[in-house]
A = this chain, B = another copy of it.
């Protein structure tokens, strides 16, 4: 008895068992189960019945060993707790799940040693490909090991331009946000962002500036960089109102920052959206729908990003491996904090 638990039965049925029960050879049983050519209908029926009776399920290990393909991919993330890797992971699982692919999940915790360890383990399990999900949109070093399967970097691009990376379009997101505010009739727009050393913060600000330039507008004050926290939003909004009371819209670096800004505006007696429109980034539902009024936000389309990464990996497995950085479009989700009727 290899398995020791009393609750569990004997070992799983094998193809030989099915063949024996059906009174045919293993090769015939295999062909019958895989709908291969030239098996008598009656024979096939017997085999199918035998397989059902034994609740046979083919051993993927043996199959993978033979085929040189396992139908598995590795998903290497850097911060499972993080807010961003999760929807990506979800999208990837989604795109794979329909087919015959299973996903190995690994969390490197931002530790290079652990990452190499995981990569080695995945390679030894003969994954068909790898998706590497970063924890911020800042570029990350490529995998340390030589990997003989395709790799797609998601969210954080690889520093090596020869690698294939799929990232959100932060510049476009900034542009879209300002365009939305302008469409709402706002002209005196301020920008309270997150931590300056994040490329996401700088890219969004750059996109916002593009849209302002295109409309012949100027930002109210400077971009206020700080932290991705509500507290920063509250503090920055206070300073903004002191210095530039004429502001009629605040673009915030994240939904959390926006929540803080909303709090300060409320306390200072500014009505949202009548006096000041507010919007954030990320479209994190728990932040946006809990806010008063509900928060307009730019959705970074992370699930779609995950799906795109999965699709790209499929392509790379089956055909040619792409290169360079591809971006995924974002979209504005309008709620009460910018729409007057909200």
Interface residues, chain A, with chain B CB atoms under 8 Å away: 2-12, 55, 57-62, 64-65, 68, 70, 72, 75, 80-81, 83, 86-87, 89-90, 93-94, 97, 100, 102-107, 114, 118, 120-126, 146, 148-150, 229-231, 234, 256, 259-260, 263, 286-287, 289-290, 292, 316, 318-321
Contacts and interface: CB of A to CB of B under 8 A. Distances in A.
One complex includes copies of this chain to the number of 2
14 contacts: A4-B318, A5-B321, A7-B321, A8-B149, A9-B146, A57-B120, A57-B123, A57-B124, A80-B90, A93-B106, A97-B107, A234-B292, A260-B290, A263-B292
B93 A89 contact: no
Contact of A2 (B68, B230, B320, B321): B68
10 tightest A-B contacts by CB? Answer: A230-B290, A105-B105, A57-B124, A5-B321, A60-B125, A61-B65, A80-B90, A61-B61, A60-B124, A8-B148
Contacts of A3: 148
Contacts of A126: 12, 59-61
Nearest to A56: B124
A11 B68 contact: yes
Given A148-B9, A230-B290, A105 B61 contact: no
Contacts of A70: 61
Nearest to A121: B102
A242 B148 CA distance: 68
A35 to B, nearest CB: 17
A72 to B, nearest CB: 8
A230 B259 CA distance: 13
